[in-house]
Amino acid sequence: MSSTDTAGQDRQRISLLRVLGPAHVWALGVGIVLVGEFMGWNFSVGKGGALGSLIACWVIGLLYTCVAMIDSEVTSTVAAAGGQYAQAKHIMGPLMAFNVGLYLVMAYTMLEAADALVVGDLLTSVAGEMGHDALDPRPFVVLTIAALAWLNYRGVLMTLSVNFVITAAAFLSIVILFLGVQPWNPGAMLHHRELLTDLPYGWIGVIAAFQFGIWFYLGIEGTCQAAEEVRSPARSLPYGTMSGIITLLIAATMTWYVATGLLPWEFLGQAATPLYDAARVTGSTSLQVFLFVGTIFSAIASANGCINDASRAWFSMGRDRYMPLWFGAVHPRYRTPYRAILFLIPIAVSFAFTGLLDQVITFSILSGLLGYTFMPINVWMFRKKWPLGTIRRGYVHPYHPLPALVLLALCITTYFATFLGYGTQLLAMICFYIVASLWFAFHRYKYVRRGDQFTMPWPRRADTKEGTMIRNILCAADGSTVSAKAVDYAIELAKKLRVPLTVLSVELVSREDMAQSPFWDSKVLEASASITRTEFENVSQKAQSAGLENVSCVVVSSRHVAEAIAAYAESNGFDQIVMGSHGHTGVSRMILGSTAYAVVARANCPVTIVR
């Protein structure tokens, strides 16, 4: 299905450039996440011991495999900037879309702040080894964020091409460390027999480790933020995302194996840069240099990808007026969401200046976890509305609904794990999102123009062919001013395409029901019939004046207008629906969506919204 807003079509809209391929998508996803192998994951060792961390690594790996599978199907089919935000907007409704968009922005911005912290902390650590103990990390934090924001400002192709190179180099440093410690020769450098212990805090510690096990993979879902900038969403997004999760599973396993064989779990559980510290323990200067470069590169690649993803989500919300429209601007030369990029810089810097790495990581993890909780519900609704075979899909994830059920169960378990160690932060974050939702419901949503929410073409039905012509058009009319505009547009479209036009009017109460009412009055019936006749006469006159002959008018009765329009279009095989958008306001419209939105969500053919 597709939704088109005809208002403002006379002015040119600058769009994002479609220049990316599968390798760029891989670089975006892995680049954001790979820093988790260099720092952050090791806090799971402090929660559950080395073996508990390994269990968390693989269980959370299963969680992210489900995320990647679900995301690949929905995003390759519903390809729009904003990723999960765009999906929620079109599938679940405005309030969920606002929250999901906010989850994405906060998760990536906090992750960006954590990356900048790692750069500053690592440079401070190395400076201390060289006798410069008073080095202030904050200038390096600002420099890192500012330089990467400038790179993102200048263009997405250059940004992700750089990310591909430095991400590959960071991954290579893990492989070099793995080979350098001679894993084929146990006891030479790796001492798992001496260092590995039983679960120090039992199975409750293993569950608590799930929270930081997320850090191995957090952000892989960011690949879908580039949906409007890839040349072929149906090919690039599934290939890039699935190859990315495979890369991360391999990297996570190698990271755990090396670090736990070189460092005691008590030290590993609180280290700021565990892989760099592991390289230092080997006594090899070359390995230490490789891991220094790898850690810096991974943090830079992650921050770079986070700026890309957070700005796309914020840009999409601005474009739809969920945030001020000012943020929805695209640079006329570089074709990037430059205002969103610039706006998020001070937010990332302010969180990085706190210096509280574990707190920043926790906020990022929890925001991401809320987004993952939305995914099972989203894919259930997606499959229910568009079963297999009804629309074209770039990828179909197997064993549905098992991945969604597993994902939901693991999300609930991870919430419990977070509550065990960071209950106060969890409650504070939930309160933050509740307050934000209230702000959106009672203040911001009145500025949203419903036609502007639908900024992407819905996928084609599987039984349609490329270039299929519209054979008949249905126009929904209710006698209002905006409905008259929709009728005018439908007549012009039908005339241009030389196809039949049907004008549909929906009565909320049928004549039979009204006749049985104690308030029945023949004058009321006659007045209603007169209004309908006048409306249809006006349609006929307009069509005759335009030279359109094949026009019919139909009245149906239903208490649910949107369902009646969508059902009539489906049962009579219409290829296009045209209707107006009224612009009603209120909390109920924001939560439940408008009539126009409801038709778009239910119809199995394209819908054009006229304002």
CATH number at residue 495: 3.40.50.620
Q: Give the pLDDT of residue 512.
A: 52
Query: Which residues form the domain of 575?
Result: 469-610
CA-based nearest residue to 302, from 173, 167, 138, 107: 167
Please report which confidence band the pLDDT of residue 263 belongs to, taking 50, 70 and 90 as the band edges: very high
Q: Is the pLDDT of residue 407 over 80?
A: yes
Better-predicted residue by pLDDT, 217 or 524: 217
Instruction: Answer whether residue 13 is part of any domain.
Output: no
Q: Give the pLDDT of residue 449.
A: 66
Q: Is the pLDDT of residue 405 over 90?
A: yes
Segment 307-332, tens digit of pLDDT: 988 998 898 888 888 999 899 888 88
User: Which residues, at least 6 apart from 103, have a Cβ–Cβ distance to it below 8 Å?
Assistant: 84, 367, 368, 370, 371, 374, 433
Instruction: Answer whether residue 455 is part of any domain.
Output: no
Q: Is the pLDDT of residue 581 over 80?
A: no
% pLDDT > 90, the chain: 26
Instruction: Answer whether residue 217 is part of any domain.
Output: yes
CA-based nearest residue to 152, from 336, 411, 398, 346: 336
Segment 101-156, tens digit of pLDDT: 999 899 889 889 988 888 888 888 888 878 777 788 889 889 999 999 998 898 87
Same structural domain, 481 and 591: yes
Same structural domain, 40 and 87: yes
C-alpha span between 49 and 209 (Å, rounded): 8
Q: Are 417 and 207 in contact (CB under 8 A)?
A: yes
Q: Give the pLDDT of residue 527.
A: 60
C-alpha span between 263 and 281 (Å, rounded): 8
Mean pLDDT in residue range 362-382: 89
Structure tokens given for 499: 């196809």
Same structural domain, 153 and 253: yes
Whole-number Cα distances in Å, 320 to 317, 521, 578 = 5, 45, 21
Q: Give the pLDDT of residue 586.
A: 46
Domain total for the chain?
Answer: 2
Same structural domain, 389 and 272: yes
CA-based nearest residue to 501, from 574, 563, 602: 574
User: Which residues, at least 6 apart from 61, have a Cβ–Cβ distance to it below 8 Å?
Assistant: 216, 217, 248, 249, 252
Segment 4-18, tens digit of pLDDT: 443 333 334 455 667
Q: Give the pLDDT of residue 176.
A: 94
Give the phi and the psi of residue 503 in degrees, each rounded to 5.
-105, 125
C-alpha span between 295 and 16 (Å, rounded): 31
Structure tokens given for 445: 């949503």
Mean pLDDT in residue range 417-443: 90
C-alpha span between 592 and 595 (Å, rounded): 9
Radius of gyration of the chain (CA): 28
Same structural domain, 222 and 111: yes
% pLDDT > 70, the chain: 87
CA-based nearest residue to 401, from 28, 70, 13, 40: 70
Q: Give the pLDDT of residue 82.
A: 66
Instruction: Answer whether residue 529 is part of any domain.
Output: yes
Q: Give the pLDDT of residue 455.
A: 47
Same structural domain, 146 and 75: yes
Segment 541-576, tens digit of pLDDT: 888 888 888 888 888 877 778 888 888 888 787 889
C-alpha span between 436 and 207 (Å, rounded): 30
Better-predicted residue by pLDDT, 9 or 187: 187
First to last CA, the chain: 19
Q: Is the pLDDT of residue 469 over 50?
A: yes
Question: 457: which DSSP letter?
Answer: P
Q: Is the pLDDT of residue 262 over 90?
A: yes
C-alpha span between 419 and 210 (Å, rounded): 11
Q: Give the pLDDT of residue 126.
A: 84
Please report which confidence band the pLDDT of residue 291 belongs to, taking 50, 70 and 90 as the band edges: very high
Whole-number Cα distances in Å, 500 to 466, 495, 496, 552 = 21, 9, 11, 8
Q: Identify the weakest region by mean pLDDT among 11-20, 39-48, 71-80, 599-608.
A: 11-20
Same structural domain, 515 and 422: no
Same structural domain, 423 and 480: no
Instruction: Answer whether residue 226 is part of any domain.
Output: yes
We report the CATH number of the domain holding residue 297 as 1.20.1740.10
Segment 337-354, tens digit of pLDDT: 899 999 999 999 998 888
Average pLDDT over the chain, rounded to an integer: 82
Q: Is the pLDDT of residue 461 over 90?
A: no
Q: Give the pLDDT of residue 404.
A: 95
C-alpha span between 553 and 533 (Å, rounded): 10
C-alpha span between 576 and 447 (Å, rounded): 28
C-alpha span between 163 and 23 (Å, rounded): 10
- 305's enclosing H/E stretch is helix 285-319
DSSP E strands in 463-596: the ranges are 473-476, 501-507, 551-557, 576-580
Instruction: Answer whether residue 11 is part of any domain.
Output: no
Highest mean pLDDT among 21-25, 88-92, 128-132, 293-297: 293-297
Q: Give the pLDDT of residue 568.
A: 86
Segment 375-393, tens digit of pLDDT: 999 999 888 877 887 777 7
Instruction: Answer whether residue 462 is part of any domain.
Output: no
Tally Cβ neighbours within 10 Å of residue 234: 17
Q: Give the pLDDT of residue 453.
A: 56
Q: Is the pLDDT of residue 524 over 70?
A: no
Same structural domain, 249 and 101: yes
- Cis bond leading into 401, ω under 30°? yes
Q: Give the pLDDT of residue 259.
A: 93
Q: What is the pTM of this model?
A: 0.69
Segment 150-175, tens digit of pLDDT: 988 988 777 878 888 898 899 999 99
Highest mean pLDDT among 54-63, 222-231, 422-431, 518-527: 54-63
Residue listed under structure tokens 């006159």: 541
Q: Give the pLDDT of residue 466.
A: 46
Same structural domain, 434 and 495: no
Same structural domain, 196 and 299: yes
Q: Is the pLDDT of residue 609 over 90?
A: no
Q: Is the pLDDT of residue 465 over 80?
A: no
Q: Are 53 and 209 in contact (CB under 8 A)?
A: yes
Give the phi and the psi of residue 334 in degrees, each rounded to 5.
-90, -15
C-alpha span between 300 and 169 (Å, rounded): 12
C-alpha span between 107 and 273 (Å, rounded): 21
CA-based nearest residue to 331, from 576, 149, 207: 149
Instruction: Answer whether residue 489 is part of any domain.
Output: yes
Tally Cβ neighbours within 10 Å of residue 549: 10
Whole-number Cα distances in Å, 201 to 130, 271, 423 = 38, 19, 18
Structure tokens given for 35: 């820093």
Tally Cβ neighbours within 10 Å of residue 114: 31
User: Which residues, at least 6 apart from 116, have a Cβ–Cβ distance to it below 8 Å?
Assistant: 140, 141, 144, 145, 299, 303, 348, 349, 352
Q: Give the pLDDT of residue 549.
A: 82
Same structural domain, 373 and 507: no
